[in-house]
Structure formats: C-alpha cells, structure tokens
Chain A
Amino acid sequence: MMRSKRATGVVVAGIAGALLVSGCSKKADDTATSGSTASGSSSQAVSVAFVPKLQGIPYFEAMNTGGQEAATDLGLKWIYKGSTTADPGAQTDIVKSLIQQKVSALFVAPNDPDSMAPVLGDAKAKGIHIATSDTDAPNSDREVFVNQATAEGIGQAISDALLEKMGGKGKLAIVSCGQTAANLNSWIDVEKKYIAQKYPDAQIVSTVYAGEDEAKAVSMAKDLMNAHPDLTGLIGECTSSAPGVAKAVREAGKIGKVFTVGLGTPQAMKPYLTDGSSSAAILWDVQKLGYLTAWAGKQLADGGSLAPDAKLKAKVPDATYDDATKVLLLGPALRITTENVDQFQY
C-alpha cells in the first residue's frame, strides 16, 4: 500500500510540475480573427496581423476596434489574435501560427521583447514584414515601432498630474506590474529622473511589482501606505494597478490624503475619478493607436512611405515618423479626468 501511495505521490509531483509550466500557456483561439472588408479570399488583399500582450482587456480591445476601423477605411484584412494570459510562451506560439498563415505584415506587442526577437527574425526570413506596436523589441529587426507616446511624454504627464495634487512635495510610491515590461520600466526611469529634477521636495520611497493582478496591486498599495504613514501619492503604472491603487485609497478611507494617478483605461477609472480616489488617468487614444498600426501595416506591405499621408492625418492628426529610429509616434499623452472621461467608450 505504502509503495503504491508513494508512486502516486511521484506521479502527482510530476504532473504538478507539468501543470505549473503549461498552466501559464493557455491560449484563446476561440475568439480573435476579426477580418473585415476586402472580399476575403483573394490572395492580393493585404493582411495585417496584430498580436497583443493579452487578449480581452479593454486596452487591446480598443486597439482592435481602431484596427478594424482602418481595415474598412483602407481596404485591408485585419487579424487580431492574442493569448488570455500575458505569457511570453503563449504569445510566441500565436506568432508562429500567424507566420504559418503567411500574413503580409505582423505587428507584435511583445511580453518579452528579447525572446520575441528571434521569432520575428523567422517571420522576416519567410518574407513577412515585421514590426512592433505598443511595446518595442529593440533587439529585433523590426521595420517600424508604432509608439503610443514617448517614455518622456508618459512619465512626465503622470508625474505632473500627481505632483500638482501633492503640492509639488511629499512622499510617493510606484505600484508597477510586470517586472520585465520594458515600457513600464522606461516610464519609471523617466518619472524618477524627472521628479528628482523638477520636484526636489518630492521623494519616491518605493517601487513594487504586482504583476497584472489588480487584487495584488490593491493589497500592495495598502502595504505601502502602512509602511509609509506620511505617503501622499501613489502611481499605478499599468491598467490593472491604476484602478488598484485607487481602490486601495478608497478602502483605506484616505481619499483627499493620498492622491493617485495611473495609466488606466477611461471606463475602468471612471468610478475612482468620480469619488476622487484617482486624480487623473494618463493614456493616449488607444483606438487611434490601433488605426495607426493597421495603416503602418498596409504601408509596409505596399512598399509605401511611413511618413503620415493626408488620409492618415485626417484620422490621426498628431502622428509623426522618425526615419532615423524607425518610430511612428501617435502623439502627446492624454490626461483623462472627470471632465473628459465620458468621451471614451472603452
């Protein structure tokens, strides 16, 4: 009996290990592919695929909406396909399947830029135009990076919005998400430098990482308020920690004592903006970012220039292209408050 129980134990341990590995790579092949326009079957139609970090969150769904809009306007096939977890392995699998489908242009918002680079290399070898959007993979051969805003633009907008409320001084802390997310880390760098320079009386006391988990962000933000009773500011660096830090302030009953600003999507932030637990959300027009991505894909596939043309300017007026860095920039950051939050449907 003991022997068989032990054997079971070994099996259980082995499977548990397998579970740990595979549990993180569930994919959502169920939804996705929302091709529009262009009669479908013809092999000449330009197909632009975009692989978000994860599917189903309002941020990337809004990008998808913009991409679909561009598909109708510009006559291309828009493919949107992502994993349900922000997991590099699952994302790689999806990119590989799109390479098999021979799309014309492939845009990725990589979860792990370094591990994505060789996969993009494979795609290029197969004659697919490769590019990044939302998050760059600097070590890859990408032909363009569609950038929502510069790191300076985001970092400074977040810092200014928060420090205005804090009266330009005091202690603040940052609740970030994935520890390896390149864009979040670049914003944090800007915030640290910018605040040190422009607001010498303010001090960033701590930076913590909650993953893409709102409940954990709430709990960590409360820990930070407990650890630093004189804390007056919190930054939520991503779309799950921005509502997270606001909820923590609300639950701790510290509205008006601790101010929060975060990178959040309008509808998710609205209740917190309304009750004052969040002072402002910094973002960009995500739908237009999707539009710009689809447009860039068509230009790449057609061999056209990436300098914004009149047709694009009509929809995305602030877009600029820098040939030296191969970065297509959406424009300046957007500050969302109670006054303009209702303009956005996502």
Chain B
Amino acid sequence: MAAANPGIATRRRRPVARAVEGQELALIIVLAALWLILSISTDTFLTSSNLSNLLYSVAPIAIIGIGMTAVIVTGGIDVSVGSGAAVVMVVVAKAIRDSGLPLAPALALGLAVGLVLGVINGVLVAYGGIHPIIVTFGTLNLYRFLALRLFENKQVTGVPDTFSVLGGGKSGETLGVPNAWWLALVLAAVMWSYMRYWATGRHWYALGNDAAAARLAGIRVKSRTIAAYALTGLFVGLAGIVLIGSGGLVQQNAGTGLELRVIAAVVIGGTSILGGRGSVLGTLLGALLVGTVTSAITLLGWRSELTELFIGVFILVAVGVDLVRERRRRAR
C-alpha cells in the first residue's frame, strides 16, 4: 500500500508547518489513485448517484469518527458508540413515529440522548481510574441492554421521513452531495481548527502524550477528558439521526459493529492508538477510503468478503506505520 512511506514524506514536508501530516498525504494519494482507477475502469463509479450513496453511507462513520479522534488523541478509546447509536435511534424513531415529533425537537432529543450517554462514559473514565476500553466495553453492553429494552422485542417499523433532509434520498442532497456529508465536513473543519489552534484543543494532545505532565502543567485533566467523551456522545446522537434518515425500519441490531468501523477509520487516518497524535482530517480520509473500497467491491462485482480483507490490511499497515514512527522517535 502507498501508505507505507509517510515517514519519509513527513521529513521532507516539514517546512509546510504540517498542515497535512504525512499519513494524511499518503491517504490523499491512495484515495486519488483509487478514485482515478475506478473512474477509468468502470463507467459507473464517477456518477453522481454512486458518489452520493458512498458519501451518505460514510457520513455516520465520519461524524462519530470526529469525536473518536479527540478521544483517541487523549489516549482513550470509546467502544460503546455502536450501542449508543442504537439507543439514540430507538428513542428518536419511536418519538417521531408515536408522538409525531417534528424535525427540530427530534434532533434536539437525539443530541441530548447522545450527550447523556457520552457524559456517562466521560465521568466513568475520568473518575473511575479504569482503562477507557474497559469502561466503555461495560457501557457498550449496558447501552445495548437499554436499547433492547426500549425496543420491547419489536423492531420499529413505519418510521416517518422526518429526517429525510439528512437521509440518503434526493431530498437529502444539496448540490448533489448528501447533507449528512456536508454536515460531516463542517464539523470536521470546526474540530480541526479547534484541536489545532485552541489551547483547550491542544490540551487533548498533551493529555495523550503524558497525562501526569499535563496535570503538572495546569491542564484540567478530568474536565478535558469528560469533554472528549461528551463530544463523541453528541456526535453519536447526530449519527443516529443520519442513520434513521428517510425512515422505514429501525432494527434491534442497529449500530452493531459501528464502533469497529469508526475506530478503523480513525486508525487508518493516522491517529495514533497510543494517543497524543492524530487529526480529524485523517479520520475523514480514513472513512472515505473504507467507504470507497466497500462500494467499489460491489461495483466491480467482486466477492463481498473482500471488503474485510482490504480493511484489515489497511488497519495493519496504518498501525504498523505508526509503531515504526514511534520507535524512530524514541531512538532519536
């Protein structure tokens, strides 16, 4: 994979103040190459309906990924997002179907539910003193239990198209691009500048590099930690609404495995799983790469399970590159 040489790219490109990190540059090149090849080899990839479908299916992963990037940068992880999305989806789907809740309050409800779940994660991580993967593994099961209880052994059918403006149909597009993807872009842009230029945003990196030193430097470690998880929860709320989209059916298995797809996008995007390094731009690119491969395999008529193969390879390459870079840094 072309992602194998970002270390060299980084060193050469240092003068550019690293607006684009090495791994991001490599991803851009891989993506561009992939899109070029697909555009030439098929006459169906570069069509507006295909790109629209691709961007819509990637949007929820990208949106949660933006929050997940912050969490992983602090040295944490949140594996509960899939179950969290299920809770949001069942609560909101039932509210718009049974009480006819209109768009704005339903959106607020989804965000509020997501935020609450995120804050619970954040507080448990900040004050529990237990590794975040254990904490959120616990809440992954708790939230799934909660969701199943709310489903009451039935899937939610006949969900109205309240959120069709964020859905996968024509009414959810602006300039041929799904609104859900525009939303992901705007959120990513805001988050990118926040994590880059705001002091409180930089604190997340400090936390991930060395929490003890960060505390000595006067960073409010606990509140910054809670903020990262709460933000992720908020994004989970938003993603849940995008997943409901134009309505129809919400199944009990909603969101199952979503956490792994999100973490894959973040890791492929070059964010270090050890914390302290990464950016939402990379996550966006990682999500796009995963989405492109998934869609391309159907377009080319290849066997569906090849998707897993490619994603697995991407993750291993990305993590491998990260570890090599870490080792080099230590050797210096």
Let me know if B298 and A251 touch, CB within 8 A.
no
Bound Cα distance A23, B157 (Å): 26
Report chain A residues within 8 Å CB of B49. Answer: 222, 225-226, 252
Closest to A346 in B: B154
Which residues, 230 to 259 on B, are CB-close (under 8 Å) to A? 243, 246, 248-249, 251-254, 256-257
Q: Is the CB of B274 within 8 A of A26?
A: no
Interface segment among B102-110, B133-141, B278-286: the answer is B133-141
A19 touches B157 (CB 8 A): no
Stretch from A55-63, A71-79, A280-288, A315-323 contacting the other chain: A55-63
Query: Measured between C-beta atoms, what is the minimum distance from A38 to chain B in Å?
Result: 24
**Chain A: minimal CB distance from B225 (Å):** 15
Asked whether, in the complex, the Cβ of A243 is within 8 Å of the Cβ of B44, the reply is no
- Contact (Cβ within 8 A) B305 A268: no
Q: Name the distance in Å between A221's Cβ and chain B's nearest Cβ.
A: 9
Choose one: B56, B131, B248; the contact of A247 (CB below 8 Å).
B248
CB of A33 within 8 Å of the partner chain: no
* B313 on interface, CB distance cutoff 8 Å: no
Please tell me if A84 contacts chain B, counting CB pairs below 8 Å.
yes
List the one stretch of A115-123, A164-172, A195-203, A208-216 in contact with chain B.
A208-216
CA A11 to CA B57, docked complex, whole Å:
32
A229 interfacial contact with B, CB 8 Å = yes
Inter-subunit contact A240/B248 (CB<8 Å): no
Chain A, residues 248-279, CB within 8 Å of chain B (1/0): the string is 00111100000000000001101110000000
Residues in A lying within 8 Å of B, measured CB to CB: 1-2, 5-6, 8-9, 11-13, 15-16, 19-20, 23, 26, 28, 30-31, 54-58, 61, 84-85, 179, 205-206, 208-210, 212-215, 218-220, 222-229, 240, 243, 247, 250-253, 267-268, 270-272
Contacts A26-B141, A30-B145, A85-B256: A253 and B79 contacting too (C-beta < 8 A)? no
Among B8-16, B162-170, B182-190, B198-206, which stretch is in contact with chain A?
Answer: B162-170
Pair B273/A271 contact, Cβ less than 8 Å: no
Q: Check A9 against B274 for contact (C-beta < 8 Å).
A: yes
Measured CB to CB, the closest approach of chain B to A57, in angstroms, equals 6
Residues of B within 8 A of A23 (CB): 140, 257
Task: Looking at the assembled complex, report how far the CB atom of A273 sits from the nearest CB atom of chain B, in whole angstroms.
Answer: 12
A15–B137 CB distance below 8 A: yes
Q: For the complex, what is the distance from the CA of A208 to the CA of B149, rounded to whole Å?
A: 32
> Chain A residue with minimal CB distance to B330?
A2
Q: Which A residues lie within 8 Å of B218 (CB)?
A: none
10 interchain residue pairs of minimum CB distance: A251-B169, A223-B298, A226-B50, A222-B53, A219-B57, A209-B304, A227-B299, A56-B252, A268-B157, A251-B168
Q: Across the interface, which residues of A come within 8 angstroms of B148, CB to CB?
A: 28, 30, 56, 84
For the complex, give the distance between the alpha carbons of A227 and B297 in Å.
Answer: 10
Answer whether residue B301 sits at the interface, using C-beta atoms and an 8 A cutoff. yes
- In the assembled complex, the Cα of A320 lies from the Cα of B158 at a distance in Å of 36
B248 touches A271 (CB 8 A): yes
- In the assembled complex, the Cα of A250 lies from the Cα of B44 at a distance in Å of 20
Query: Distance in Å from the Cβ of A135 to the closest Cβ of chain B?
Result: 18
**In the complex the two chains form, is B77's CB within 8 Å of A12's CB?**
yes
Q: Is the CB of B275 within 8 A of A5?
A: yes
Chain A residues near B167 (CB, 8 Å)? 251
Which residue of chain B is the closest to A228 with respect to CB atoms? B44
B249 adjacent to A253 (CB under 8 Å): no
- Closest B residue, CB atoms, query A11: B131
Q: Is A253 within 8 A of B210, CB to CB?
A: no
Contact between B158 and A270 (Cβ–Cβ < 8 Å)? yes
Q: Give chain A nearest CB distance to B52 CB in angstroms.
A: 9
- Is there an interface contact between B252 and A84, defined as CB atoms closer than 8 Å? yes
| Contact status A12-B155, CB under 8 Å | no
In the complex, what residues of A have CB within 8 A of residue B304's CB? 179, 208-210
In this complex, what residue of A is CB-closest to B153? A56
- Does chain A have a CB within 8 A of B144? yes
CB pair B131 A227 closer than 8 Å: no
A226 and B252: CB pair below 8 A?
no
Q: Are A268 and B273 in contact (CB under 8 A)?
A: no
A212 to B251, CA, bound (A): 9
Give Cα A243 to B137, complex, Å.
31
Q: Which of B133, B170, B249, B305 has the most chain A CB within a 10 Å cutoff?
A: B249
A and B contact pairs by CB, cutoff 8 A, 7 listed: A9-B274, A12-B273, A206-B298, A210-B304, A219-B56, A223-B298, A268-B249
A55 to B137, CA, bound (A): 22
Question: Which residue from B153, B157, B330 sits with its C-beta under 8 Å from A61?
Answer: B153
Within the complex, what minimum Cβ distance (angstroms) separates A185 from chain B? 14
Are B145 and A220 in contact (CB-based, < 8 A)? Answer: no
CB distance from B97 to the nearest CB of A (A): 11
Instruction: Give the shortest distance, in Å, between B165 (CB) and chain A (any CB).
Output: 13
Residues of A within 8 A of B243 (CB): 215
